[in-house]
Chains A and B, each alone.
Chain A
Amino acid sequence: MELPSLSAIGAQAVSGLTTAMLLFLVASGLSLIFGVLRLLNFAHGSFYMLGAYFAWQFNTWLQGSFWLSVLFAAIATGVLGALLERVLFRKFYDRPELMQLLFTYSIVLIVSDVVKYIWGTQQLGIRRPEMLSHSFKFGEIVLPSYNLVIIVISLAIAVGIWLLLQGTRLGKMVRAAAFDREMLSMLGVDVRMLYLLVFSAGCFLAGLAGALVAPMSAVVPGMDADIIISLFIIVVIGGLGSFWGTFLGSIIYGMVFSFGILFIPQFSLFAVALIMVVILIVKPEGLLGRENTR
């Protein structure tokens, strides 16, 4: 076998990082919701898909004002998430995981049919903003500026969430809720409100990722199911509910996927799935997850 050059390896690492950061945006919301609400949300991919469709819709209404469309799409997804939390999701917080899985899977099916009903089955596309359609070149490594923006936004959000969790009163309450919510509610904190906030924030992140991915790929029915498997692999590797675990899981997924393609193209998904299997056997709580205390 011909060994790839150093610059090819560099290019592959950059590709892996783009994949990883985009997935992290979506997975962080899934992990946050599980960590605090103990809800296994199979429908998280649906909010990601809705984010992409909302972005297309706003982009059409606003006639190409891209960044505003992305922002509105993320907000709309967050608001929709909050509404659904109030009406449906909160009824399932203390149910067994199997019930949660069945319920959230039904939501997946319902959302996908609603999306087809509203936007049809045709592929929709958004053009990336003109100022971001060029790319940077470092030797032979090509980094499209749009991918760079995605990497930067995701890193900024990672740091932002971490600061929020560590440094603010709200963050402390969120962490406390993940730890012992009964104690927290006895201390007079409105746990229901906190849950609403966390769920909505998770949906906002999924919607943001969906909106950001729209100019790179096509907006189509089926985006939801395609991403959810990747998300579950990531949170299993990193540790469901662990913030940095999810970050680590995303990096591992992106890199293993990317270099798997470079070295053994026949098995692009094989390597990531294998890692998941090994983790499930050796360290079922994930690399940075804590032992399940329930």
Chain B
Amino acid sequence: MDTTFMQLKRVQLLLGLLGTLAASIASAQEPIRVGFPMILSGAGGQFGAPILKGAQMYVDEINATGGVLGRKIELVPRDTKSRPDEAVRVARELVLRENVDFLVGTFTSGEGPAVSGIAKEAKKVFIAVAPKTDRLTAPDAIHPYVFRAAANTTTEGRAAATIVAKWNIKRLATIAPDFAYGRDATASFVAHIKKLRPDIEIVDQQWPKLNESDYTPFITAQLGKKPEAVFSVICCGNFDSFARQAGAQGYFKSIGNNFIGLGEAGSIEALRALGGEYPIGVYGNTYDAFYWKPKDSEVARLHAAFTKRLSTALKDDTPPSWAVQGYISMQFLVEGIKKANSIDSDKVSTALKGLEIVSPQGKITMRAKDQQATRGMLWGKATKRDGYAFPILDGVELIDPTGFMD
């Protein structure tokens, strides 16, 4: 045999080995890429932007401590423009062209299930940040890669029912936007309140379309049925115009402020946008409130520290309520990676099932059975308080959904 050939072969082998080694070193330093499809424009952009900021804040904190598995995390955000088809397009692009390792994001109940399909196809873990529709993790739609860090329509509707059940009323009306989220949350609420208070009668149900601009006829028609209380899911940036028009019609006054607004009607964003025109005395919910004082001292400490860091990061003394959802979702992902000791989606999926995190809102578990986080929401009554330029929620409490999730 030709010795030069043998020598060449040996050199080649050595070079090959060196190459593999170099590649593995490089990959150890390359960041873990997380695709982040989110509403960043349109009316929903006012919520998507703070979510992204909250996620980025968590990433910055983790990277400052050296990242996870020795690697930094990098967010790759994309605008879904509030459209499910656009969400699918960007999610596919993130997986195929950007080679992201995971997907975290989506806002509406239209986008969540759409992106879940891509995650299933690509076999990449996807953590839904905000979509609430029960469809996302329903038995026929669930697959190993989809997880939800948000509340869902079942828990949100039932939590509202536990509050309304304490009210001294008999005639109840509902108003909700005519799409998956509005219909699902109303159905869950109605079923639960009938169980808790069989004496309550549903006297009227209104279904204005999403982004309706003229609520006046809906409001007068509802008042015509003489309800004593109203359950509302007017959401997604529509609460402002609804509350303005309803206020002018004397709606809140005529039901004695027995009104409960889901879809984050109690978020700082909504309270600030309406300012002095916000209906004082109504109940609303929100994912976070910078002024919330948790009863548990450990949660209080975590929440206060989180709020302080958020205020500094966003340069905002009254930081938005949505940031915490981005933060918690990234926390789930990173702790899942840590527990799996791998970025392989199958291993991370297994690790996420049953994983408990200690979030700025207390302990939250990603349930193994339905891949749904035990995420509660904050509920309270709108009130004016000295020192704040806009109304805030009084008596804010976190309603833990663990007892009524199934």
Beta-carbon contacts of A113-139 to B below 8 Å, as 1s and 0s? 000100001110101100001010000
| A-to-B contact residues, CB < 8 Å | 2, 4-5, 7-9, 11-12, 14-16, 18-19, 22, 116, 121-123, 125, 127-128, 133, 135, 142, 144, 146-147, 213, 215-218, 220-223, 226-227, 257-258, 261-262, 265-266, 268-269
Whether B350 is near chain A, meaning CB under 8 Å from some CB there, is no
Whether B156 is near chain A, meaning CB under 8 Å from some CB there, is no
Instruction: Bin chain B's interface residue count.
Output: 35 or more
**Which residue from B178, B205, B216 sits with its C-beta under 8 Å from A147?**
B216
**Complex Cα spacing A145 to B238, Å:** 23
In the complex, which residues of chain B have a beta carbon less than 8 angstroms from the beta carbon of A220?
43, 237
Beta-carbon contacts of B219-249 to A below 8 Å, as 1s and 0s? 1110111000000000001101100110011
In the complex, which residues of chain A have a beta carbon less than 8 angstroms from the beta carbon of B178?
268
In the complex, which residues of chain B have a beta carbon less than 8 angstroms from the beta carbon of A125?
240, 244, 273-274, 277
| B-to-A contact residues, CB < 8 Å | 41-43, 45-46, 178, 203-209, 211-221, 223-225, 237-238, 240-241, 244-245, 248-250, 273-274, 276-277
Q: Is the pair A123, B213 in contact by a Cβ cutoff of 8 Å?
A: no
**Complex Cα spacing A162 to B221, Å:** 33
**Complex Cα spacing A128 to B241, Å:** 12
Q: Is the pair A5, B224 in contact by a Cβ cutoff of 8 Å?
A: yes
In the complex, which residues of chain B have a beta carbon less than 8 angstroms from the beta carbon of A223?
213
**Complex Cα spacing A123 to B269, Å:** 10
Q: Is the pair A268, B208 in contact by a Cβ cutoff of 8 Å?
A: yes
**Which residue from B43, B217, B244, B249 sits with its C-beta under 8 Å from A261?**
B217
Known: A217-B245, A226-B211. Is A123-B220 also a contact (CB below 8 A)? no
Q: Is the pair B213, A227 in contact by a Cβ cutoff of 8 Å?
A: yes
In the complex, which residues of chain A have a beta carbon less than 8 angstroms from the beta carbon of B43?
121, 123, 220-222
**Complex Cα spacing A258 to B238, Å:** 19
Q: Is the pair A265, B204 in contact by a Cβ cutoff of 8 Å?
A: yes
Complex A-B: 30 CB contacts under 8 Å:
A5-B224, A8-B220, A8-B221, A9-B224, A22-B214, A121-B42, A121-B46, A122-B45, A123-B46, A125-B273, A128-B248, A135-B249, A142-B220, A142-B249, A142-B250, A147-B248, A213-B213, A215-B244, A216-B245, A217-B213, A217-B214, A217-B244, A221-B42, A223-B213, A226-B211, A262-B217, A265-B206, A266-B207, A268-B208, A269-B209
